[in-house]
Structure 1
Amino acid sequence: VNLKYRPLGHLLLIKLEISQYFYLPENQWFCSKIVVDTPEGEAVLFPCHRWLTWGEVLELRGAKGLSPSYTSVLHSSLGIFMQWVCLSAFSCSKAELKLKGLFGSEESWESLESMKNTLTFKTSPTAEYVAEHWKDDAFYGYQFLNGVHPSIIRNCPLMPSNFPVTEEMVQPFLEPGTSLQQEIQKGNLFLCDYKSLEGLQTLVVEGNSMPLTAALCLLYLDTTGTLKPIAIQLGQEPSEKCPIFVPSDPELDWLLVKMFVKNADSVIHQIISHLMNTHLLAEVFAVATMRHFPDVHPLYKLLTPHFRYTLQINTAARVVLLGPTGLVSKSSAGNEGTNELMRRHLAETTYSSLCLPDNIADRGLQNIPNFYYRDDGLKLWTAINRFVWAMLGLYYPTDDEVSGDAELQRWIQDISTRGFLGNRRSGMPESFITVEEVVKFVTMVIFTTSAQHAAVNSGQFDYNSWVPNNPLQLRRAPPTTKGQVTMETILETLPNIGHSVDFIALSSVLHKKYTDSVVLGSYPEERFGEPAAKQIIENFQKELSSIEERIIERNATLHVPYCYLKPSEIENSVSI
């Protein structure tokens, strides 16, 4: 819509309504934007992006970001609302699976080979590689860096007292002429610790609680840059019935204990790294943004594109992501395990753990080679941070504007007190004093809802569709003695045929994109009308294109390309 009027002075807002005529049926209209061309030659943009119905009056504020003194004047009794795009339901085609007689089957697989030969209805190059190499220790270690869950591994500067790995146990798997203590001092030992799973209530299936181990897995980085597991303990308390397994143990023992570690890893991945730390965090940010900022506020306009699906998708996400993990039962108390796990992790969540550069440093992963999640993620963090600096610099030229913005202060206080329960140990800011503080926090919000979600979501079909690689459920208790595991034991421990089909269908759903997806750096709703803001967005898009080119060039040299943080593959907001 383009409108031309006589001089009206400085336009702050316009009202929009539909007039109903007796000879026309009642209808709805979708308004994208209003552009008022003034006699002074200025084109004033009023974003709308909403449906209008008869009898409704919309107040639209101009796209130009206003200072806090203006925004306080512009508050109206209509409140703030956002018309979210309806979420279209995805469905994985189970028709072919039903024809094969797999869906709903409670039988165990006859063999791993029969599983591989049967589940050929859909694949990807990476999924094929996973199915071929999932047993290899080198590829097993690689996945903690570049698989679907790169968020738990950390450097091990000191062996935990409850994980009594000795020199004799692991010497055969270290480089010649070195020792365990020397390798620890060099920074070549890494640990995955699943302590938070200890004692959780799990799903009861066929009268038995599903096993879930609070495992410890020690990995070693050799001189070739290869990361391999060298010791696994399937519990937090060592004992005769909770021994430490090593690669020289019987082959099937080692394979099964590695599967139990990946089962623990899958639970933490889905409930914490995926659901809580992207979906639910995005919900916290979205609600606070709509609660405290009018739509003329620059942060409202900057952030809302990153919450596009957040509120609708999270209800579905809770069901889709929690159901298969083994922590949710059908009883009224069925969420106890899940809720307790999230309580434990929320109490330990820190602001620095959500900021990628700080997170990488805290985990001691600055120098480990072949860590593509880190490399690509840091490039994206830097690009987003530069973009946010430039954009907010238009509206907060000095620190005084930050401290004087009451809406901004209420926003961060709400996030801190309600989203993080006022936990001061988390380091979550309760107020902002400087522009730099705001820029870092907003960078974290955008990175979390776009790049971080892509990193822990987009690879799920690739790494989870071969069920033994990342089993979301296991049926039998972990081994307590060595030399007792047979292939029959492994097949009886893996999910049955019907559950395997469910997990594959789930991974197929979760890796899909919406047909109307918006990639990172795209702002099609034109909420910013200033030429300077538009140029900053364009510069951001150019930087993302440059990052994409470097990732493509790097991936051309890899056996397993890491594509999950390619800007063209990252959605602007959390999605399924």
Structure 2
Amino acid sequence: MSSLVKGLFDKHQKVKGTVVLMQKNVLDINELTAAQSAGGVVDSFFDFVGDAAGTVADTATSLFRRSVALWLISATVADGKTGKGKVGEKTYLASVITSLPTLGDKQNAFSIEFEWDNDMGTPGAFYIENYLQGGEFFLVSLTLEDVPNHGTINFVCNSWVYNAKNYKTKRIFFANKTYLPSETPAPLVYYRQEELKTLRGDGTGERKEWERIYDYDVYNDLGDVDKNASLARPVVGGSSTLPYPRRGRTGRKAARKDPKSESRSDTVYLPRDESFGHTKSSDFLVHILKSASQNVIPRLRSIVTLQFHEPEFNTFEDVRSLYEGGIRLPTDILSELSPIPLFKELFRTDGEAALKFPPPKVIQVDHSAWMTDEEFAREMIAGVNPHIIKKLLEFPPKSKLDTQLFGNNTSTITKEHLQPNMVGVTVEQAIQNNKLFILDHHDPLFPYLRKINATETKAYATRTILFLQDDGTLKPLAIELSRPHPQGDSFGPVSKVYLPASEGVEASIWLLAKAYVIVNDSCYHQLVSHWLNTHAVVEPFVIATNRHLSVVHPIHKLLLPHYRDTMNINALARNVLVNAEGIIESTFLWGKYALEMSSVVYKDWVFTEQGLPNDLIKRGVAVEDPTSAYGLRLLIEDYPYASDGLEIWAAIKSWVDEYVNFYYKSDASIAQDSELQAFWKELVEVGHGDLKNATWWFKMQTREELIEACTTLIWIASALHAAVNFGQYPYGGYIVNRPTKSRRFMPEQGSPEYDELAKDYQKSYLRTITPKNDTLTDLTIIEVLSRHASDEQYLGERIEGDLWTSDSQPKESFKRFGKKLAEIEQKLIQRNNDETLRNRNGPVKMPYTLLYPSSEEGLTCRGIPNSVSI
């Protein structure tokens, strides 16, 4: 056959492919369980899906054939008129493939054939249109086989596709190639830019469920003034007075009674691919959280108040009965609550009909070790809020509060208070030798104390001084409790210092003093360390990335796993956790001022200090030392969070360094990257716009800056969040160990409260801290928040497997990163077995496992997910 004739025959070729998708009904647990029924809805779901492969295939074939169309787009051959890549012929899905070995659970695979002439070049993208009436599906991937002169091409999609009539432009997906903007094949430039334009939207209108628009707004949807004037809350963000990171814009109409606030609704818009729903377990976890806040908790309160007439715990044993015997429920209450999914885990199944929580790790070995001074101090460096303690730099500790408004807030702790317990060391010597540390919860709280104490809660601003002993443990030396002056804030605080005691009523007083400290630490942890410094600060990065970094941009591919589910869990939090009279306001000391107080703290947030090494140096708990591992020397050598965290930080940075340097060959390529520059400019000026004038922002002109910024962001979203989240129930599930409220002031000698304390310290302690109703609420919520879903993606893993990029070198680097994390985990296990490291387990015999990279499903107190996903 002549070459001419052969060319004529070869010109018209077919490219075979496989499309993998999942039907909506397989995924949408929220809809399936909306009726709160354990029976009918779920049964009908399984009836529809069917157990037999033939049934699934028949259903899928009839549902999707000629209802889903695709067009291939060339990456190498442009239309002569427009310069855009040539678009191939419209093609429909063909038959269902039931034997694909890589097919995931509940996924359907379809064969497809494209007409693709030789002169069309190599496909680099495709359009897809869904003609199903009212039905969306989750598009997993398209794989093209035997593409002429190329071989296999993979398109990783992982996106919801709605009916075509809902879109102004066709849905487009790109092959798993990675390009800097300047390196994009010319035929794909238009498509790359248009997709980003679609994702940015025009900033107007109320967003609809099927949209994929990313935009910014302030936190003006926390209150509900239209429902009740008491639910009014100030707008957080958009001002120098109450600055805040931005959240995703929904465009809901303004509240009738407050035009600056957004009206509330049961559903909150999210760009569709940010919502739970790609897997069953994530949806189910959210459903549990919703049912807990809307159904379970109100019922629990009525059970305690109306049925049992016991609004208080009387002994620590009463608290432990929640785990050991539970609360026995009347049959009518049981039948009402048992269909709710969360209660299936809380109910005993032995016929005793008792509400029971899992025993928290902090009391699994010893019921009373939490009360020791050593454990009180150890949890400041190995607990759920381990990055607040600082080295004491000056004595006495001073305040940064405005003296004209709040008077002199210098600490009243004296050398005479401290030195008797410092084994002959003076305060000056201890400061010089890095032996004194402070847990300071004074300045953020003091300006709000008068308001807080006007409610049913009663609190103090606190300072705690600790001494680093020769055995590596920390010993608390003194606690200062401060209240506003009765004559006004400008007179400064009224303060009193409490010292350790082990016997008599003084020991009970000391236990209460520690409780006031922990209440403050619990609130700061939940609203600042956890919510603000991980959840809220990451959301602008998610938005800016999607608005300005194309899916084929290397930094988009690097950061994408670390955004998974963050916008969704944040939207849910605004609806049921941090909203007016939500879970946090109802059960934590800061109450209605919670978000406002976190906003005040955000004024001092510095992105460049969120990376672990810089954080340790800022707090004075480490110093730069080129001869030490990671260039730092810890001043508290046995500091579990810091020593474990440095291992993780170094692994992340090494991976990011290799990745960035593969794609950027010079610093000039950073400055010339138009998408990266637009991303960073908008992140600083809009996403974190209230801090845009800060001089510490990276200028994003060098590879070093990009590496540090990406490492810091990944650290925040993964390891930092893991450290402050997954220990909530293991440590705080025993409410006496980490109370969230204080309701009485310290008893004064001669008062009835003092006599009660002397007579029954447990009862007095329990009357002071979080009451029973709030305890049940706290336990219910933090148990859910401390769990890993079965589909969790951990650091070193990617949901796309090996197909996230076609570049082999970054894939090999990522595999090395995963292996390094596995090695680190073994190293951390060995540390926890070293008995000379007393802070690793402490008196409670609870090893520090929160920074172990891997985990199983459930309540494990370990594991580093890629993202802020719960």
TM over 0.5, shorter chain: yes
Partner of 2:273: 83
Are 2:141 and 1:60 aligned? no
Q: Deviations over 1:464-496 (max 9, x none)?
A: 111111111121124567993442432221222
Q: Deviations over 1:273-297 (max 9, x none)?
A: 0000000112111111111112111
Q: What amino acid is the match of 1:167?
A: K
Matches within 5 A, 1:349-364: 349-364=605-620
Contact 2:794 2:865 in 1 (8 A): yes
Classify 1:233/1:426 alpha carbon distance in 2 versus 1 (closer, same or farther; 3 Å): farther
Contact 2:360 2:731 in 1 (8 A): no
Partner of 1:220: 467
Q: What amino acid is the match of 2:389?
A: I
Following the alignment from structure 1 to structure 2, what is the Cα–Cα distance between the partners of residues 482 and 45? 78
Deviation at 1:355, TM superposition (A): 1.1
Matches within 5 A, 1:366-405: 366-405=634-673
Following the alignment from structure 1 to structure 2, what is the Cα–Cα distance between the partners of residues 482 and 424? 55
Q: Deviations over 1:398-449 (max 9, x none)?
A: 1111000121112112222223335367554253110110011011111111
Classify 1:198/1:99 alpha carbon distance in 2 versus 1 (closer, same or farther; 3 Å): closer
Partner of 2:448: 200
Partner of 2:866: 572
Classify 1:347/1:130 alpha carbon distance in 2 versus 1 (closer, same or farther; 3 Å): farther
Contact 1:449 1:573 in 2 (8 A): yes
Classify 1:89/1:228 alpha carbon distance in 2 versus 1 (closer, same or farther; 3 Å): farther
Structure 2 unpaired stretches of 5+? 1-16, 19-112, 200-211, 213-271, 278-282, 325-355, 399-409, 486-491, 622-633, 835-840, 855-862
Q: Deviations over 1:334-382 (max 9, x none)?
A: 9862233122211111133211111011112122022111111111111
Partner of 1:230: 477
What fraction of aligned residue pairs are identical, expressed as a percent? 27
Partner of 1:540: 817
Which of 1 and 2 has greater Rg?
A: 2
Q: What amino acid is the match of 2:869?
A: S
Following the alignment from structure 2 to structure 1, what is the Cα–Cα distance between the partners of residues 301 and 770? 20
Contact 1:350 1:425 in 2 (8 A): no
Q: 2:317 aligns with which of 93, 99, 113?
A: 113
Larger CA deviation: 466-475 vs 236-245: 236-245
Partner of 2:553: 297
Partner of 1:501: 776
Partner of 1:141: 377
Following the alignment from structure 2 to structure 1, what is the Cα–Cα distance between the partners of residues 500 and 613? 33
Partner of 1:247: 500
Contact 2:577 2:583 in 1 (8 A): no
Following the alignment from structure 2 to structure 1, what is the Cα–Cα distance between the partners of residues 323 and 303? 12
Deviation at 1:222, TM superposition (A): 0.8
Deviation at 1:317, TM superposition (A): 2.6
Partner of 2:675: 407
Following the alignment from structure 1 to structure 2, what is the Cα–Cα distance between the partners of residues 444 and 156? 26
Q: 1:328 aligns with which of 574, 585, 589?
A: 585
Deviation at 1:46, TM superposition (A): 1.8
Larger CA deviation: 344-353 vs 535-544: 344-353
Are 2:634 and 1:348 aligned? no
> TM-score, normalised on structure 1?
0.90
Tell me the SS of whatever aligns to 1:377: helix
Following the alignment from structure 2 to structure 1, what is the Cα–Cα distance between the partners of residues 582 and 833? 35
Partner of 1:306: 562
Tell me the SS of whatever aligns to 1:34: strand
Q: What amino acid is the match of 1:390?
A: E
Following the alignment from structure 2 to structure 1, what is the Cα–Cα distance between the partners of residues 749 and 430? 29
Following the alignment from structure 1 to structure 2, what is the Cα–Cα distance between the partners of residues 39 and 326? 59
Larger CA deviation: 101-110 vs 81-90: 101-110
Contact 1:275 1:317 in 2 (8 A): no
CA RMSD of aligned residues (A): 3.1
Q: What amino acid is the match of 2:772?
A: I
Deviation at 1:320, TM superposition (A): 2.5
Q: What amino acid is the match of 2:458?
A: P
Deviation at 1:36, TM superposition (A): 2.8
Larger CA deviation: 397-406 vs 315-324: 315-324
Contact 1:203 1:327 in 2 (8 A): no
Following the alignment from structure 1 to structure 2, what is the Cα–Cα distance between the partners of residues 457 and 44? 40
Deviation at 1:124, TM superposition (A): 4.1
Are 2:741 and 1:473 aligned? yes
Are 2:798 and 1:523 aligned? yes
Following the alignment from structure 2 to structure 1, what is the Cα–Cα distance between the partners of residues 537 and 470? 39
Classify 1:201/1:399 alpha carbon distance in 2 versus 1 (closer, same or farther; 3 Å): same
Q: How many residues align?
A: 566
Deviation at 1:125, TM superposition (A): 3.5
Classify 1:141/1:528 alpha carbon distance in 2 versus 1 (closer, same or farther; 3 Å): same
Classify 1:382/1:414 alpha carbon distance in 2 versus 1 (closer, same or farther; 3 Å): same
Contact 1:324 1:472 in 2 (8 A): no
Deviation at 1:253, TM superposition (A): 0.7
> TM-score, normalised on structure 2?
0.61
